[in-house]
């Protein structure tokens, strides 16, 4: 299991558009030398390498699918081992990402307080940490869950690190579209953890997350487009006008909402899931259209308010997957 696109949390510091090297009130300046860190600081730094908020989001698309696959409450020991293995896998992928991206993380306001830019953890130590997590994840999932789930998690980790982080991220505007595939694997892992085989139901949920990732990430990238521009990462909002970004967000939102409804006939769900999916889809698509209308009027972030859609995208995915888990309980 790995990262769903870009980080799920985005605490803004400083003002949009300020140069990376400028004195930014509220953001401690990096001296380029190791900080004097306490033991607590070091532990917090290693935890930070795993990007806990991303792990939360990924587990959200794993555990509900286990309930759905079991058509009720799955074996709780199985859920525990799947969660532990998933956390280790997602943490490993994030740590590898932090090692590779440490050069641009030092320059971006959103990321300059991570462990590597602050020199609390060395790149070698972070690399070892990421590798240990990957090995532990594979062992836990292989023996505690099943080999298929372990293989899917390892494949997702490798795809995120090798394909997205190293190959796509700094080379194409489609980086998050195809790189985001790695973040879709938790739906498959949750299903195979229970059934030990793949099926069309988790594939539909896989595709929901695939189409959800661009609107989620591009709304965040709109907010931090100057950061990405300053480090030459060609996120779509960096190379295209805001109105074009808004248009593409709308297109992906429509397809996402339609794909979510598709689970109803494919999985023969009860009434609860399609009702929730339809309401959530209507609200999200309407939000995306409002964002697009604002981008047509202005390039000003204060007018566009992209973080509104970003936060709503998190809520959409949360409620949709909760409804996946609850549908068998309400309608069996």
Architecture of the structural domain at 39-331: Orthogonal Bundle (1.10)
pLDDT tens digits for 138-191? Answer: 999 999 999 999 999 999 999 999 999 999 999 999 999 998 899 999 999 999
Cα torsion 52, 158, 222, 51 to 10°: value is: 10
In whole angstroms, what is the distance from residue 37 CA to residue 25 CA? 22
pLDDT tens digits for 262-301? Answer: 999 999 899 999 999 999 999 999 999 999 999 999 999 9
* 321 touches 60 (CB < 8 A): yes
The pTM is what? 0.86
Q: How long is the chain? A: 332
* Domain definitions of the chain by residue range: 39-331
């Amino acid at each position: 299991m790995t990262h769903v696109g870009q980080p799920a949390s985005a605490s803004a510091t400083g003002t949009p558009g300020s140069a990376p090297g400028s004195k930014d009130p509220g953001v401690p300046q990096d001296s380029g030398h190791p900080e004097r860190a306490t033991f607590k600081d070091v532990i917090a730094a290693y935890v930070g390498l795993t990007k806990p908020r991303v792990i939360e989001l990924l587990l959200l698309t794993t555990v509900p699918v286990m309930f759905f696959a079991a058509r009720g409450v799955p074996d709780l020991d199985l859920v525990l081992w799947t969660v532990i293995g998933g956390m280790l896998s997602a943490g490993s992928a994030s740590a590898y990402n932090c090692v590779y991206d440490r050069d641009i993380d030092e320059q971006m306001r959103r990321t300059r307080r991570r462990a590597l830019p602050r020199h609390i953890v060395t790149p070698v130590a972070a690399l070892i940490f990421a590798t240990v997590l990957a090995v532990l994840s594979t062992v836990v999932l292989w023996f505690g869950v099943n080999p298929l789930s372990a293989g899917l998690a390892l494949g997702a980790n490798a795809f995120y690190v090798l394909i997205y982080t190293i190959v796509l991220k700094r080379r194409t505007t489609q980086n998050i579209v195809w790189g985001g595939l790695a973040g879709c694997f938790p739906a498959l892992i949750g299903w195979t953890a229970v059934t030990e085989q793949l099926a069309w139901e988790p594939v539909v949920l896989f595709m929901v997350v695939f189409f959800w990732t661009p609107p989620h990430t591009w709304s965040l990238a709109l907010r931090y487009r100057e950061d990405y521009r300053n480090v030459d990462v060609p996120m779509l909002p960096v190379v295209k006008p805001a109105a074009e970004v808004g248009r593409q967000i709308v297109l992906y939102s429509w397809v996402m909402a339609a794909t979510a409804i598709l689970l109803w006939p494919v999985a023969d769900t009860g009434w609860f899931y399609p009702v929730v999916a339809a309401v959530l889809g209507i609200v999200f698509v309407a939000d995306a259209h409002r964002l697009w209308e604002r981008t047509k009027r202005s390039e000003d972030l204060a007018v566009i308010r992209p973080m509104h859609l970003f936060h709503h995208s998190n809520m959409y995915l949360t409620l949709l997957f909760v409804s996946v888990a609850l549908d068998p309980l309400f309608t069996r």
